[in-house]
Amino acid sequence: PPMSPPPEPTVRRELFGGAVSCDFPTRWIDVSDFRPVPDNQEVWTDADRDESVIFEILERVEVGPSDADGAAVWFFDDLATINDASVASGLSAVETTRHLTAHELPSINGVFACASLCVGTSQISKGNDGVDKRNAVRVAMANVRLPEFGTDLLVTLNRAITIAKGSSVDAPRAGDGDDEVGAGDLILRVLQSLRIEDWGLFG
DSSP letters spanning 43-99? EEEEGGGTEEEEEEEEE---SS--TTT-THHHHHHHHHHHTT--TTTTSEEEEEEEE
CA separation for the pair 22, 76 (Å, rounded): 22
Long-range contacts formed by 27-30: CB under 8 A, 24+ apart? 28/53
**Long-range contact pairs involving 104-111 (C-beta distance under 8 Å, separation at least 24):** 104/188, 104/191, 104/192, 105/144, 105/191, 105/192, 105/194, 106/192, 107/22, 107/192, 107/193, 107/194, 107/195, 107/196, 108/144, 108/194, 108/195, 108/196, 109/196, 111/146, 111/148, 111/196, 111/199
The tens place of each residue's pLDDT in the chain, 203 residues long, gives 666 667 789 999 999 999 999 999 999 999 999 999 999 999 999 988 889 999 999 999 998 998 888 999 999 999 999 888 899 999 999 999 999 999 899 888 778 889 999 999 998 876 666 666 677 889 999 999 999 899 999 999 998 886 555 555 555 555 544 444 588 888 999 999 999 999 999 87
User: pLDDT tens digit string along 2-44?
Assistant: 666 677 899 999 999 999 999 999 999 999 999 999 999 999 9
Instruction: Confirm if 117 and 194 have CB atoms less than 8 A apart.
Output: no
Q: For residue 135, what pLDDT is reported?
A: 79
Q: What is the pLDDT of residue 164?
A: 55
Q: In a 3-state reduction of DSSP, which class is residue 13?
A: strand
pLDDT value of residue 151: 93
Residue 140 DSSP SS3: strand
The answer to whether 142 and 191 are in contact (CB under 8 A) is yes
Residue 169 confidence (pLDDT): 54
Looking at residue 178, what is its pLDDT? Answer: 46
Residues near 4 by Cβ (< 8 Å), separated by ≥ 6?
none
How many Cα atoms within 13 Å fall on the side-chain side of residue 20? 21
- What's the pLDDT score for residue 179? 44
pLDDT of residue 129: 61
Cα-Cα-Cα-Cα dihedral sign, residues 36, 73, 175, 84: negative
Q: What pLDDT is recorded for position 3?
A: 67
- pLDDT score for 43: 96
